[in-house]
Each structure stands twice: as structure tokens, then as C-alpha cells.
């Protein structure tokens, strides 16, 4: 089976990519398999810039094709926050619980019809000596008033996925993969994968 490297240290993303790439015939490795590699500093001002930064840095380091995901939650009533700061919204320790609590608190007085939000995912594919390829996907929702469900990761328990009529964390991995920002981005990449992967294997 061909191997694809995803430049992430996020366990939740790693699991989703593993499931999504399996049917395409790829085995996924992530930076969790390379503990010696340090976090890439996310200094970009957009999801796309940060995805490119992560993919290109790790592709150069490993000298092979790498895919990176930069993603997050944009809430209308908070003018798009937490946005690119989603992972660290409540502090550097990157706590999902603390991040969700901060959002719920900030939205306490926001009425039901003003709680629109969307997940965004930028995927960058970088290979040494080749032009980086970038796609993105979104998923529309509403911010709930309390946490629901136990699947997924990050903000999933407070995100009501409109397409499914359930909290994202109430969806099984298969159901989330039908509608998520990450799956929507990956679908745009699928047709390009064979050519991007040509000659991208381990040297």
C-alpha cells in the first residue's frame, strides 16, 4: 500500500485522515510517527498560508511529498474568531475543553438565530522541487449552548452540523466524513492525487 505523510501532530486529525485515505489505497503516517520533528510555527495570517508553511517545511525536512491541514472554526458573532487561532483559543496548552468553554461563554447572550459558524480546512500538498497544491473545504453549522456527543475532537461537541441535524460529536466517523470541511477539501484533492503522488514515495 502507498504511504502518504500528513504533517500534523493532532490525534483527531490523524484518525480522520487514516480513515479517509484507507479506501483510496493509502496508508497514512503523521508527525506522531516522527516524534523528533518539532512543531512548525504557524506564522501565517490565513489557513492557506499556514497549511502551505507546514507542508513545505516538513516536505523539505523529509525530502518527500507531504500533505498538511490547517483548519479551524469561524463564528459570525465573533467576527470570524477563533479562526486560525482555534487550537490555542484559550491558551498555549491547546485544551479542547477550555477552548469550547471560552466560546460558550462568549456566546452566552447571543440569540439562537445569530449563532452561525463554519469549519474551514485548507489542505496543502508540497513536494520538494514542485509547486505546492492547495484546496479547501467548509462545513456550515450553529454553535450550541452546551456540549453534545463524544465522537470527534476539538469543537465538535458544540458545533451543530446543519446538513445532519446533529452535533458534530454525535456523528459517527463515517457520518462526519460525509459532510466535514476536511472531507470536502480532500474530495477536491482526490482527482489530483495520482499525479501528485507520482514519484512522491520514499527515496
Ligand X SMILES: O=P(O)(O)OP(=O)(O)OP(=O)(O)OC[C@H]1O[C@@H](n2cnc3c(O)ncnc32)[C@H](O)[C@@H]1O
Residues marked as catalytic = 70
Q: How far is the CB of 189 from ligand X (least distance, A)?
A: 16
> Has 155 been labeled as part of a binding site?
yes
Which set of grid coordinates corresponds to residue 69? 491541514
Q: Tell me: is residue 112 an annotated ligand-binding position.
A: no
Stretch that binds Mg ion, among 22-30, 83-91, 130-138, 180-188 (CB under 5 A): 83-91
Site string for ligand X, 50-69 (x = CB under 6 A): -------------------x
Number of Cβ within 10 Å of residue 144's Cβ equals 21
List own/partner pairs for 142-150 with CB under 8 A and 24 or more apart: 142/112, 142/115, 142/116, 142/117, 143/75, 143/77, 143/103, 143/104, 143/107, 143/110, 143/115, 143/117, 144/115, 145/104, 145/107, 146/104, 147/100
Q: Which helix (H) or strand (E) holds 125?
A: strand 116-126
The one among 5, 13, 64, 193 contacting ligand X by CB under 6 A: 13
In total, the chain counts a number of residues equal to 203
Q: Is 10 in the site for ligand X (CB under 6 A)?
A: yes
* Binding flag, residue 184, ligand X (CB under 6 A): no
CA distance 86 to 100: 10
Q: Give yes or no for residue 156 binding ligand X (CB under 6 A).
A: yes
Measured CA to CA, the distance from residue 183 to residue 177 in angstroms comes to 5
Binds 5, which of Mg ion, ligand X, none (CB < 5 to 8 A, cut-off by type)?
A: none
Cα dihedral sign, 4-30-66-84 = positive
Q: Is 34 in the site for ligand X (CB under 6 A)?
A: no
3-class DSSP state of 176:
helix
Q: State which residue, 48 or 70, has the beta carbon closest to ligand X.
A: 70
**Among 65, 133, 141, 154, which residue interacts with ligand X (rule: CB under 6 A)?**
154
Residue 56's binding partner out of Mg ion, ligand X, none, with CB under 5 to 8 Å set by partner kind: none
Judged by CB under 6 A, how many residues of this single chain contact ligand X?
21
Q: Which residues are annotated as a binding site?
A: 8-13, 41, 70-71, 153-156, 176, 181-182
Interface ranges with ligand X (CB under 6 A): 8-10, 13, 42, 69-73, 86-87, 99, 119, 152-156, 180, 182
Which spans of this chain sit near Mg ion (rule: CB under 5 A)? 87
Amino acid at each position: 500500500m502507498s504511504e502518504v505523510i500528513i504533517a500534523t501532530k493532532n490525534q483527531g486529525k490523524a484518525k480522520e485522515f487514516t480513515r479517509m485515505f484507507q479506501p483510496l489505497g493509502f496508508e497514512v503516517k503523521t508527525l506522531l510517527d516522527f516524534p523528533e520533528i518539532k512543531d512548525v510555527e504557524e506564522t501565517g495570517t490565513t489557513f492557506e498560508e499556514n497549511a502551505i508553511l507546514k507542508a513545505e517545511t516538513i516536505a523539505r525536512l523529509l525530502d518527500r511529498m507531504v500533505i498538511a491541514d490547517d483548519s479551524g472554526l469561524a463564528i459570525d458573532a465573533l467576527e470570524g474568531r477563533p479562526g486560525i487561532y482555534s487550537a490555542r483559543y484559550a491558551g498555549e496548552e491547546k485544551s479542547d475543553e477550555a477552548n469550547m468553554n471560552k466560546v460558550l461563554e462568549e456566546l452566552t447572550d447571543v440569540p439562537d438565530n445569530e449563532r452561525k459558524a463554519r469549519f474551514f480546512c485548507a489542505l496543502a500538498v508540497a513536494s520538494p522541487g514542485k509547486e505546492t497544491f492547495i484546496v479547501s473545504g467548509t462545513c456550515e453549522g450553529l454553535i450550541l449552548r452546551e456540549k453534545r456527543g463524544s465522537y470527534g475532537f476539538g469543537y465538535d461537541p458544540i458545533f451543530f452540523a446543519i446538513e445532519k441535524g446533529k452535533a458534530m460529536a454525535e456523528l459517527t466517523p463515517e457520518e462526519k466524513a460525509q459532510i466535514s470541511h476536511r472531507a470536502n477539501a480532500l474530495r477536491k484533492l482526490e482527482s489530483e492525487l495520482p499525479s501528485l503522488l507520482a514519484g512522491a514515495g520514499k527515496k
